[in-house]
């Protein structure tokens, strides 16, 4: 189950990127997210366009990562509901001039 969960989470997150892309946001056709065997989610912020990264990420990477997790949380909630999972603690590792780890607890109770 965990391997299938990881595979589908990887697909789900990268589909979100494909649906969200604009020329200012990202300049890559490769994977932005990679879900590891331990379900850690790597996020390669270096794949953002240079202008976007310099303007919004580099000056305050921790704040950007927190805002990013807030943006993606509803999409993760939707994913967990599809799997019938009530709550889950995600670990994201953001790659931008080194690695920054952030945890995100998602609770689906009361959401449909």
What pLDDT sits at residue 15?
Answer: 87
**What is the rounded distance in angstroms from the CA atom of residue 111 to the CA atom of residue 21?**
26
What are the tens digits of pLDDT across the range 33-68? 999 999 999 999 988 888 888 888 988 999 999 999
Mean pLDDT value of segment 66-86: 94
Whether the pLDDT of residue 70 is over 60: the answer is: yes
Q: Work out the average pLDDT over 73-87.
A: 94
- Residue 42: which of 67, 1, 6, 81 has the closest Cα? 6
pLDDT of residue 21: 64
Taking all residues of the chain, what is their mean pLDDT, rounded to a whole number?
A: 87
Measured distance CA(93)–CA(68) in Å, rounded:
12
**pTM for the whole structure:** 0.86
**What pLDDT band is residue 25 in, cutting at 50, 70 and 90?**
low
Q: Which of these, 44, 37, 51, 89, lies nearest to 68 by C-alpha position? A: 44
Structural tokens at position 48: 């953002």
**Would you state the pLDDT for residue 106?**
95
């Amino acid at each position: 189950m965990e391997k299938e969960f990881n595979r589908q989470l990887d697909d789900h997150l990268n589909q979100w990127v494909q649906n969200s892309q604009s020329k200012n946001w990202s300049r890559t056709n490769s994977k932005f997210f990679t879900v590891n065997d331990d379900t850690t989610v790597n996020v390669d912020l270096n794949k953002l366009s240079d202008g976007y990264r310099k303007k919004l990420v580099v000056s305050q990477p921790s704040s950007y990562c927190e805002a990013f997790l807030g943006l993606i949380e509803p999409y993760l909630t939707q994913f967990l509901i599809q799997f019938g999972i009530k709550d889950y603690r995600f670990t994201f590792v953001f790659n931008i001039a080194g690695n920054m780890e952030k945890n995100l607890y998602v609770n689906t109770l009361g959401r449909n």
